[in-house]
Structure formats: C-alpha cells, structure tokens
Structure 1
Amino acid sequence: MKGHQLIAYLAQQQLEPQSQQRIEQILDGKSLVVLASWADYARKQEAWKHTGPWHYINIPKGQSLEQSQRNPKGDVLSQLEYFEQQLKQAHLSKLERQQALKFYIHFVGDIHQPLHVGYAKDRGGNKVKVNWYGKTTNLHRVWDSQLLDNSKLSLGEYAQYLQASYPNNDQINSYQEWLNQSRALLPAVYQLADKNLSDDYATQHRPTLELQIVRAGQRLAKKLNQIFGSNP
C-alpha cells in the first residue's frame, strides 16, 4: 500500500495546475493518495472480481512479451492502454471517469513492481514462501509492501527523501518500455541465499524498489498532464 501511496504523492507534486484542477473535479476533491489502492480493495468485491488479472502480466521465463500468450481477460498492459483511452473520451460519465482514473493510477504502480510482470508458474512470487525478519510471508508481499514498511518516515518525508536520493530524468514513455524495464529487474529479485530474508536482502533491493517508485511517480504525473493538461 505504501508504494502506491508514495507514487500517487510524488505524482501529485508534479501535476500542472490545470491537471490538478480537473482531477480534483473528477475525484470530488479526494487526493490521488487516498485512492491509490482503491483497485486492490475493489477486486475483492463480487462486482469487480473480474479485474484481478488486470493487476499483472505473466511472461514465461526466457520469453518476450511478443512471444508470450496474453490473458484474454486483460492484463496490466492492456488495461493501462484501455484506461488512458477512456480518460480521453469526452462522453464518459463522471462515475466512469472516476473509476477509470482510480484503476489507471493503481496500474501505473503495478507495472513498476517487478513481480507484477513475473511468471505464472509461481504466481508472481506469491508461491515463493520466505521469512521476512522471522515472520512467514512470500516474495511477492515482500516487494509489494514489506521492503518499504520498515521506514519510520511519514509519507511526505519519505517522498521528499526519495526525490532527493533518486534524481531521475529518463525519457521512457511507453507502457511496454516500462514493462521491459521492470522485467529486467526480475532475475535479481530471485537471488535468495536462503528463505530467511532480512537486512542483507533489504539493503540490496530497497534502492531498486525506491527508484521504481520515483520513476512511477514521475511517469504518472507526465501521463496525467498529457491527458488533462491540454484537453478542453
């Protein structure tokens, strides 16, 4: 959850005034941060159960996106493309636009987490049982939340630290490039000396995840500025 909140917080700082204003209208004044994890709660409800596959994409080891079979129910790549197009549609109702935006901000975060672009075989690390500082968990959860949960900083302080620590000016704009970049991080994620993960694993991998969060925040802001900044 903290990862999604940090991405939304960083993005919000980089919105143009016009984008900020239009997003506030769509979200009834709620911040991106408050709604960043909405899609995770939604998928647990019957009405939104079908959205589960939208949070990830599975590509077998050794295969590229082009070689792999896409999920006909949708995946994180197809849904980012879909919801971007939805947000550009003038005829959408406010509720539809609100839902599209809530899914969109969440999926920008998901595609930057390496285990959301992982292998079906172990369900993106969910089947890889590990201990995190002595507590039973799985590799996916470590990357989704536990690598960041040790921080005692407030959300604002952590975001400020990330921006100062990871200046990032890359010009990677396409969703597929984001996916490939996350995918390239996967081999290192699985380098486990044993199942007991603590300081060594955290020290090695937290900077990778933090950089991904900074990238996601910048890219989300850039996309939202493109969608809402110049449109009437």
Structure 2
Amino acid sequence: MRRLLILLAALAGLCGQPAFAWGEYGHRTVAAIAMANISPATRARIRTLLRAEPQLGTPDCPVRSLEDAAVWPDCLRGESWRWAYTFPWHYQNEPVCADFDIKRNCANGNCVTPQIERNRRILATPGLPVGERLMALAFLAHFVGDVHQPLHVGENEDLGGNKVGASYGIAPGRNLHAIWDGALAERAISSAEPPLARRYSPAERAELATGTIEDWARESWQMSRDFLYPTAFGGKVPCGDRNPAAIVWTDEAITAALPLIDRRMEQAGLRLARMLDETLG
C-alpha cells in the first residue's frame, strides 16, 4: 500500500505538466554555450557557488558544474513529494489561437517567466545563503532553456503537444512535445556545424544575446503559432477544432526544424551567458 501511495503521489505531481524541455542533452548544451561565453570573473563566482552543493540535499541529483545545474530541476521529478511545487515553473501556457499576454496565464508567479526573474534576483543578492543562491543558479540555467522551447510557451489546449500522439518520421509511439524535447533536439545539436557549444564572436553575441524575458517567451509562442503547429497539422493550426489524435512529423519537417532549434539553443545559451555576466560579473 505504501508503494502504491508513493506511485500515485508521483503521478499526481506529473499530471498536467509538460514533458522536460529539450531533455538533458539540450539543457547541457545551453549551459555549455553559456560557460564558453561568460567572463572569467563570472566563471570563478559560479565555481565558488558550486562548492555549496551539499547544502542542496539532493545526492541523487548532483550539481558539480553549470551543465549539471541546468538539468537539476528536471532531476527533482524523482522526489515529487518534496519538489512538486516547482513543476509549474517550467512552462507558461500561451494559446497560439489567442493574442500573446504574458500575465494572463500565470497565477501568482507560478510559471517560467517570473521564475527566471525571481531566481536572477536571488542569485544577484550576495547576502543570501550560498546554498539558496546555488539553487537559484540551477533554476535560472534551466528555465532560460525552458522558455526557448516553443512548446513550453505556445500551445493549443494540448499541454504543449503532450496530448498529440506523433511519429518521428517512421518511428511511432511518441507525442509532439517529446519529439521536440528529444530526438529532434538531439539531432539538431549533434549535426550542427560549427558545434553549438563554442566561443561565439562579439558580432554573433550582439545578434543572438538580445531581448527581455518577455521577448524570449513571445518568440517561442510565435514559433509555435507560425511554424510548429502549422507544420504538424497540415498547414494550419486547428483553432476551434479538435486537435488530431496523432500526427506524423515527416522527414521534410525534421529538416526544416533543425536550423530553428539550433538558433533557439544558441539564443538560450548566449542570453544565459549575458544574464550571468550581468548578475555575477
């Protein structure tokens, strides 16, 4: 009975939540881009914060690097009884069939955009306990990645594509959200030339490390509205209609999506680097 109750609690914690954004590979890539583009002073302060890892009390979810920190908030799903209150912070439901309104669908700050700013402020406050600031660093690194995943912002009453069954080319048995988090993101990262995790030029950083948190969320919503949903649903978003039970993300769609995903990864990593330099540097 005890094991059943634990299982039910875990399922309850996951109910209604989107899948992990970008998956571990994607989040580590965003953090690696950031680490390659921050200042030496910022890098040194991050390493100092990482020494407080034991204070997190999460031995099953180690945080020994910024890359570890960027996947830590997803690792916490293994202890939903302790961390379930953080799960709504990973996304922000903005219907692609309505106007973008960053405040409309975020009750009491429990969504990704205000949590980016909240954790930035915690990280920027030297007088707070170092363990609390390390936790804020991990949430910040993760949520900047999350807000750049289109289906963690733009959605069509389908839990960000989680309710839409999907085949990835000829591989069945997935859903639309999982395709973007997993196989598609992994292919985009692994096939990128030059590699995404590298030192970018000043001109590249000036082009990509732009905008506000609201701008980042709006970009994801627009990508969902203008590319992702029309591509999935045969050229248009089924506004007012019932979503198809299943779709096929074709080889042509895979090819078209790869450069868009690479750009979102680059933007996320360089914007995170800029934010960390402004906050810690």
TM-score normalised per structure 2: 0.74
The aligned counterpart of 1:114 is 150
Asked if the contact 2:147/2:153 (under 8 Å) is kept, the reply is yes
Provide Cα deviations, 1:105-134, integer angstroms capped at 9, x if missing partner.
000000001000023610011111101132
Q: 1:84 to 1:149 in 2, by over 3 A?
A: same
Which deviates the most, 128-137 or 194-203? 194-203
* Superimposed CA distance per residue, residues 26-69 of structure 1 (whole angstroms, 9 cap, x where no aligned partner): 01292211221110111341211111110000123212215723
Cα distance in 1 for partners of 2:157, 2:128 equals 38
Question: Structure 1: which amino acid aligns with 2:42?
Answer: S
> Aligned partner of 2:212: which letter?
S
Does 1:100 find its partner at 2:139?
no
- The counterpart of 1:147, out of the listed 160, 180, 184, is 184
Match of 1:58 in 2: 93
Q: Taking structure 1 as reference, are residues 141 and 162 closer, same or farther at Cα in structure 2, changes over 3 Å only?
A: farther
State the Cα distance separating 1:73 from its structure 2 match. Answer: 5.8
Alpha-carbon distance change, 73 to 94 in structure 1, aligned in 2, over 3 angstroms: same
Partner of 1:123: helix, strand, or coil?
coil
Which residue of 127, 143, 152 maps to 1:91?
A: 127
**Moved beyond 3 Å, runs of 4+:** 150-158, 160-164
Distance 1:163 1:14 in 2: 7
Matching residue of 1:129: 165
Q: For the Cα contact (< 8 Å) 1:162–1:214, is it kept in 2? A: no
CA distance 1:54–1:154, shift in 2 (3 Å): same
Secondary structure, aligned partner of 1:196:
strand
Write the letter of the residue equivalent to 1:181: E
Aligned residues: 228
TM-score, normalised to structure 1, is 0.88
Tell me how large the CA RMSD over aligned residues is. Answer: 2.7
Which residue of the partner structure matches residue 49 of structure 1?
Answer: 84
CA contact (8 A) 1:43 1:51 kept: no
Which residue of structure 2 aligns with residue 210 of structure 1?
262
Deviation string, structure 1 residues 189-218 (Cα, Å, up to 9, x no partner): 112248222421110111111100001111
> Which ranges of structure 1 fall in alignment gaps of 5 or more residues?
none
- What SS does the corresponding residue of 1:122 show, helix, strand or coil? coil
The corresponding residue for 2:247 is 195
Could you say which structure has the larger radius of gyration? 2
Structure 2: gaps of 5 or more residues: 1-23, 52-62, 235-245
Give the whole-Å Cα distance in 2 for the aligned partners of 1:182 and 1:73: 19
Bigger Cα displacement from structure 2, 111-120 vs 77-86? 111-120
